[in-house]
Amino acid sequence: MTEPAAAPLSAPLSAPLSAPLEISFDYTRSLGPVLSQFMTGLAERTILGSRGGDGRVYVPPAEYDPVTFAPPADLVPVGPAGTVLTWSWQPEPREGQPLRHPFAWALIRLDGADTAMLHAVDAGCAARMSTGMRVRPRWAAERRGHICDIECFEPEADGPVLTGNGQQAASQSAGVPGMDGRPVTMMTTPVRLHYQHTASAEESRYLRALQAGKLIGQRCPACGKVYIPPRGACPVDGVPTATDVELPDTGIVTTFCVVNVPFHGQRIPSPYLAAQVLLDGADIAFQHLILGCEPDEVRMGMRVRAVWKPAAEWGTTAENISHFEPTGEPDAPYDSYARHL
């Protein structure tokens, strides 16, 4: 994840803060028997479809027949050439799309199929695209049993095929480089999500106060409870919270856990002690880190104070507080925080 960026200087101080949030994971798909055959076929430059209970041939194959709901009996080779049923020009390809230069998204009915498959057509320019045009697959040089083994489709009018057609490929399928003749059963699907995370107006004010070393909460006009971070509305009463309340950087640990388990995406190495810290004057705790004592010395009700990073490092983030540490004062009595558990 990218670190929060400071607001541009040109933005007014009242503008909500915003920073990138990147989420990514390489999902591992188990294909199951039908899609395993389809992907294995692609590695061998063969495109397979399923014959449905209504006699229609579905491409890609349906794992379960849309009419009878039964798994398909046999898969049948189709294409590899086909006809464009409809298309849409993509002038500015985006991350993760099949081609880096402009192309057409097209619904392509492969020869022998009854349904159309979505893929890219590398036609050079939109003027060369037309409904009813004939296209053929361009196979990736290295294939691994993935839909991207078809790099894209290209107009048949472009001239002779260099990489062979499906019929030839099927007859050559005994020796597919890298596949060792084994069926493809898994497929990795990388997912990359790029968000711009925007804080609410109230949270932005709270974060800007943090940048100045202050802790700002808000009081609900109905129940009088103080929320930090402020919510902008009381979740119990449903009314706007407009009154800012500055809170001290001292409080108590209401409850806590010690995180010993390492995990993907972790940013603070385990073990660490994550505590619910209830600031003096607040009515809701927030989670923060406790250092400055052994984990087994941390107690419910223990009094703590914030340890701030050097002011030069402050930004609009809760991380300005490095952690909380014990003050050494007597513990708060259980009854004083029991209703905050």
Partner 1 sequence: MSDTLAQPSSGRHSSRAEHRRAAVLGAGQTHHRSKRPDVSIAGLCREAVDRALADAGLGLGDIDAVVVGKAPDLFEGVMMPELYLADALGATGKPLLRVHTAGSVGGATGVVAASLVQAGLHRRVLAVAFEKQSESNAMWALSIMPPFSMPLLAGAGGYFAPHIRSYIRRSGAPAHIGALVAVKDRRNGARNPYAHLRQPDITLESVQASPMLWDPVRYDETCPSSDGACAVVIGDQAAAEASARPVAWIRATSMRTEPTMFAGKDNVNPRAGADAAAALWARAGISSPIDEIDVAEIYVPFSWFEPMWLENLGFAAAGDGWKLTQAGETEIGGRIPVNPSGGVLCSNPIGASGLLRFAESAMQVMGTAGEHQVPGAKTALGHAYGGGSQYFSMWVVADSPD
**Using rule CB under 8 A, residue 192 touches partner 1:** no
Spatial separation of the C-alpha atoms in residues 106 and 45, rounded to whole Å: 20
Q: Are 287 and 323 in contact (CB under 8 A)?
A: no
Structure token pair of residue 120:
């890219």
- Letter string b/e over residues 57-95, b meaning 16 or more CB atoms within 10 A of that residue's CB: bbbbbbeebeeeeeebeebbbbbbbbbbeebeebeeeee
Q: How far separated are the first and last CA of the chain, in Å rounded? A: 31
CB-nearer residue toward partner 1: 107 or 274: 274
Q: Least separation, in Å, of the C-beta of 244 and partner 1?
A: 16
Q: Least separation, in Å, of the C-beta of 152 and partner 1?
A: 23
Kindly identify the residues of this chain, within the stretch 70-89, that bind partner 1 according to CB under 8 A: none
What mask of x and - would describe binding to partner 1 in positions 35 to 74, judged by CB under 8 A?
Answer: x--------------------------xxxxxx-x-----
Phi–psi pair at 81, nearest 5 degrees? -85, 160
Q: Least separation, in Å, of the C-beta of 246 and partner 1?
A: 18
**Using rule CB under 8 A, residue 126 touches partner 1:** no
**Using rule CB under 8 A, residue 199 touches partner 1:** yes
Q: Are 193 and 6 in contact (CB under 8 A)?
A: no
What is the enclosing helix (H) or strand (E) of 119? strand 117-121
Decide: residue 158, CB within 10 A, 0-12 exposed, 13-18 middle, 19+ buried: middle
Spatial separation of the C-alpha atoms in residues 64 and 47, rounded to whole Å: 18
CB-nearer residue toward partner 1: 165 or 200: 200
**Using rule CB under 8 A, residue 181 touches partner 1:** no
Size of the residue set binding partner 1 (CB under 8 A): 76
Q: Least separation, in Å, of the C-beta of 42 and partner 1?
A: 16
Stretch that binds partner 1, among 41-49, 76-84, 173-181, 285-293 (CB under 8 A): 285-293
Phi–psi pair at 338, nearest 5 degrees? -55, -35
CB-nearer residue toward partner 1: 87 or 256: 256
Query: Which DSSP symbol is given to 254?
Result: E
Kindly identify the residues of this chain, within the stretch 253-282, that bind partner 1 according to CB under 8 A: 254-261, 263-268, 270, 272, 274-276
Kindly identify the residues of this chain, within the stretch 11-30, that bind partner 1 according to CB under 8 A: 17, 19-21, 23, 25, 27-30
Q: Least separation, in Å, of the C-beta of 67 and partner 1?
A: 8
CB-nearer residue toward partner 1: 185 or 327: 185
